[in-house]
A and B are shown apart, each in its own frame.
Chain A
Amino acid sequence: MSRSDPLMPNTLIVARREYLDRVRSRMFHVSTIVLATLAVLVAFIPIFAKAVDRGTTTRVAVYSSDPQLRATIVANLGTFLNQQHDPGRADPYALTAASSEDAARQSIDQGAADAALVGERAPTGRLDFRFYTGEGIAADRSQLINVGTFFIAILDYTSLNRRAPGQAFTFPTLETVAASGPSTGAAPLDSADFAGRRILGIVFVVLIFIILVIYGMWVAAGVVAEKTSRVMELIISAASARQLVIGKVLGIGAAGATQYVAVLVPSLLALGLENRIATALFGPGDAISPSLVALAPPLVLAYGAYFVLGFALYALIYAAAGSLVSRPEDLQVMALPLSLIAIGGYFQAVLALSGGTAGFIRFASYVPFWSPFVMMTRLTVGRVEPGELVLSYGLLVATIAVTVVIATRVYAAGVLLYGQRAGLREVVEAVRHPA
C-alpha cells in the first residue's frame, strides 16, 4: 500500500514557487522582451508584404459559359480593377479568358494564375460568381475583385435592360472557394476572412510551438536543476511525486502564460493597428484587411484549450524526461524524441496552412501529440465538423490522464537516480511497480 496524498494544497505551493522562480529570473525578462519584439515584427508582416506586393500583378483566369459575359468580365473588370494605380508601375491585375471552369482552376494549380473567377447567369438573370483563390493572392486584392463583380453585374444589367426594359436589378451572388490549402473542396470562406485567418494561423502555430517546446523544456530543466543541486532529496520526502509534477507543470505553465500575455498584447495591438499604419504609409488605396477580424471568440476559446491541453501533455513528458538525467547537458538528448514529435506537428501545421495532403492532415489533427498544432490550424483556415473537434479534444484529454500516471511514476523513480541514465527496462519497471 502506498500513501495517497491529496493534490492540494501542496500542488499549489509547488506551483507558486516554480512561478515566482521563473518570473523573477533575468532570463525570463530578457526572453520576454526579445519574444515580444519578434511577435510585433511578425504582426507587421502584412505591412511588409504590402510594401512588396504593391509592385506585383495578380493574375485572374476568367470563365463563363456565356462567351459575351466572359468577354465583358475580362474587358471591363480589368479596366475597373486597374483604374487606380501609380503610373509607371505594371497593372495590378491581369485578366485572361479560360476555356472552361476546370481549365481556370487548373491554371491556379499550375501557377499560371493566382485566382479564377467563374460567372454564370441564372435563369432569373442574376449573375452568380464563384471565386477560386490560390495561396498567393493578397486579401485586399480578393476584396477588390469582390467589389468588381458587383460592378460587372451593374454593367450586365444596364446592357440587358437596354434590350429588355423593365427587368429589376438583382444583386449578384459570390462564393469564395479555396482552390488550394486545407479547406480545398470544403464550404467556401469569405476571401478576406480566409486571408486574415492564414496570418493568424502562422502566428498561432509559432506561438504554440514556443509554448509546447520551450516552456516544456523549462519544466525538464527545472527537474534537472533540482536533481543537480540535490534539493530533490529534500522535496521528494516532503511532497508526493504527483504533487511535484503537477505543481511544476502548473507553475511553469503559469509563468509561460504570463510571458505569453506579455508577448501577445503588443502583437495584437500591432495587428489591430496594421490597417491604419498601412493607410498612413501607402495611402487609402492600399489599406490592409485587418487580420484580427478572423479572431472570433469561439476560435479564441478553441485556441486556449489547445494551448493549455497541449502544454499539459508535453510538459508532463518533459518532466519525466528531466527526471531521468542527472546533468543538464544530457537533457537535450533525452528530450530530443519529444522535440522531434513537436517539430513534426509544427511542420504538418505549416503544411496545413499552405495546402498539404488533406487526408493525412485530417488524421494528424486527431493524434494527441499533433492535434494542438494541426487541429488548431484547421480551425483557423479550414472547416472542422463539431464531431471532429470533440474527437480531437477527447483523445487529447484521455492521453493527458494516462500521461499523468505514467509521468508521475517515471518521475518518482527517476529523481532518485544519480550518475546513471535509466535504461528502458528500469523505466518500464518504475511504471509497473511505482513506489
Chain B
Amino acid sequence: MGSTCILRCVSLVLDGLSKRFGQVPALDGLSFEAPRGQIFGFLGANGAGKTTTMRIILGVLRADSGTIRWGGTLHDSLPRRVWGYLPEERGLYPRMTILEQLVYFAGLYGVPRDQAAREARAWLARFRVPEFADRRADELSKGNQQKVQFLAAVLHDPEVLLMDEPFTGLDPVNVALLREAFLELRDRGKTIIFSTHQMDAVEAMCESVAITDRGRVVVGGPIREVKRAAGRRMVRISIDGDHRLEWLSEVPGTRLIRPGIDRTEVELDAGVDPEAILAAAIARGAHIRHFEIADPSLEQVFIDHVGRPADEELTLATVPAEDSAA
C-alpha cells in the first residue's frame, strides 16, 4: 500500500459523482479529495452543485453514478453520526426551547439525553449565550438561530462537518466566533468542508479547496498549489497620495487589475520582473508604504476558472444605455 493509498484511505474521496434532476445536470463527474483533519473550502457559483454534493454525501440524495468514501469506506455503509450538517436553508422548531431541540437532534444521532443536555449547555456558554437554553427558537434573531443550528450539527461529535454557507447572515462578531469554533474543531481532528462565497474566509482558514463549475471540479488541491498553478504573479503596492497609479501603463507587461484606496493589485505577464514596478515608483519619487510580490488571490483564481465572481448574483447587472434612458 503506497503513500497515495494511505492518503486516500483517510480522506473524504468523491469520485465521478453525477446527478441529474430531470433533464438538468446538477453534477457532472465531480471528484475531489478532502484530507482528514483539515478545513476544506468547497467553492462554486450559485447552482454549481455544492448543496447537491453535500446532500449526496449525507445520503439524503442518491447519485446517478460515482462513489464517496470516508477513510476508505463507502459513505452509505457509515452511520449517520459520522456526519454533521449545517444546511444552507436554516430552520429550527419555532416553539421548542433551544435546549430541547439540541437534545432532540443529538438524540437522533444516538447521544443520550443527559449527555446531550450537558454538552449543549457547555457549547451555549462558549458561544456566550447560556441564557438561550430555555428560550424558544422564535424568540431569537436569525443570526442567533444560526449559531444554534451550528451547535445542532456538532453536538454529536461528528468526524466530518459539512457546512453549507455557514457565514451567510452573521455579523462580524459571530463570524469571528464561528471561525474560532472551526479552528478548534479542526485542532480536535475534525474534517470540515464548507462552502462559501467569502474568499477571504477560505484564504484565512482552508488548507485545501475545490472550485466547481457546472457540476464538476475545475481546479482543486492545496490553496498554495492552486494559486501557483494559475501561472500568474501579482504585485500589491500602496503609495501615499496616489491610488490611481496611472504611470503603471508606462511599465511594459503590467496590468492594474484591482485598484484600491489602501492597496492596488497589479498583474504581471510572464517574464516581467516585479522590481520594474518598484524601480518605476522610486524613479517618480513616490512614498511607498507597501510592496508585496504575491500569488493571485483566490477570488482571482475563481474568476479565471469560472469566468465570473463567486457572488455575481449579488452585484448589479450592467444595463444598456437605451434601456436605462427608457
Interface check A232, CB cutoff 8 A = yes
Contact A3–B55 (Cβ < 8 Å): no
- Separation in Å of the A431 CB from the closest CB of chain B? 14
Partner of B61, one of A10, A229, A233, A416: A416
A229 to B149, CA, bound (A): 13
A237 to B62, CA, bound (A): 13
Interface check B182, CB cutoff 8 A = no
Contact B74–A233 (Cβ < 8 Å): no
- Residue-wise, chain A 379-397 has the 8 Å CB interface mask toward B (1 for contact) of 0000000000000000000
Interface residues on A, range: 20 to 34
Residues of A within 8 A of B74 (CB): 1
Contact A434–B105 (Cβ < 8 Å): no
Interface check A2, CB cutoff 8 A = yes
> At the interface with chain A, which of B80-88, B120-128, B204-212, B312-320?
B80-88
- Interface CB pairs A-B, < 8 A, 28: A1-B76, A3-B76, A3-B77, A5-B80, A10-B108, A13-B107, A13-B108, A21-B96, A226-B91, A229-B92, A230-B89, A231-B93, A233-B87, A233-B89, A233-B91, A234-B85, A234-B105, A234-B152, A235-B105, A237-B55, A237-B58, A237-B60, A238-B105, A238-B108, A239-B108, A412-B60, A416-B61, A435-B61
Residues of B within 8 A of A21 (CB): 93, 95-96
Closest 4 CB pairs of A and B: A230-B91, A233-B87, A231-B91, A238-B108
A239 to B76, CA, bound (A): 13
Interface check B104, CB cutoff 8 A = yes
Contact B62–A13 (Cβ < 8 Å): no
- Residue-wise, chain A 1-16 has the 8 Å CB interface mask toward B (1 for contact) of 1110100001001100
Residues of A within 8 A of B89 (CB): 230, 233, 418
Which A185-225 residues sit within 8 Å CB-CB of chain B? none
A273 to B117, CA, bound (A): 49
Contacts from B to A (Cβ < 8 Å)? 22, 55, 58-62, 74, 76-78, 80, 83, 85, 87-96, 104-105, 107-109, 149, 152-153
| CB closest chain-A residue, reference B84 | A237
A13 to B96, CA, bound (A): 15
A435 to B56, CA, bound (A): 9
Using A21-B93, A418-B89 as known contacts, list a sample of 12 further A-B pairs with CB atoms less than 8 Å apart, ordered by residue number in A: A1-B74, A1-B76, A3-B76, A3-B77, A10-B108, A25-B95, A230-B89, A232-B91, A234-B91, A237-B85, A426-B22, A434-B62
A226 to B89, CA, bound (A): 12
A13 to B113, CA, bound (A): 11
Residues of A within 8 A of B96 (CB): 17, 21
- Separation in Å of the B168 CB from the closest CB of chain A? 13
Interface check A236, CB cutoff 8 A = yes
Partner of A2, one of B59, B78, B85, B88: B59
A8 to B153, CA, bound (A): 21
Residues of A within 8 A of B105 (CB): 234-235, 238
Partner of A238, one of B77, B95, B109: B109
A2 to B92, CA, bound (A): 27
Contact B87–A3 (Cβ < 8 Å): no
Which A1-52 residues sit within 8 Å CB-CB of chain B? 1-3, 5, 10, 13-14, 17, 21, 25
A10 to B80, CA, bound (A): 12
A418 to B87, CA, bound (A): 14
Interface check A89, CB cutoff 8 A = no
| CB closest chain-A residue, reference B52 | A416
A329 to B58, CA, bound (A): 31
| CB closest chain-A residue, reference B59 | A3
Contact A234–B87 (Cβ < 8 Å): yes
Residues of A within 8 A of B83 (CB): 237
A21 to B61, CA, bound (A): 28
Contact A230–B90 (Cβ < 8 Å): yes
- Residue-wise, chain A 398-421 has the 8 Å CB interface mask toward B (1 for contact) of 000000000000001000101000
A233 to B88, CA, bound (A): 8
Contact B92–A231 (Cβ < 8 Å): yes
Residues of B within 8 A of A239 (CB): 80, 108
Residues of B within 8 A of A1 (CB): 74, 76-77
- Separation in Å of the A224 CB from the closest CB of chain B? 13
Contact A435–B59 (Cβ < 8 Å): yes
Known contacts A21-B96, A234-B85: A416-B55 contact under CB 8 Å:
yes
A238 to B105, CA, bound (A): 7
- Separation in Å of the B52 CB from the closest CB of chain A? 10
- Separation in Å of the A19 CB from the closest CB of chain B? 12
- Separation in Å of the B295 CB from the closest CB of chain A? 36
Contact A234–B62 (Cβ < 8 Å): no
Residues of B within 8 A of A17 (CB): 96, 104
Residues of B within 8 A of A162 (CB): none
Residues of A within 8 A of B58 (CB): 237
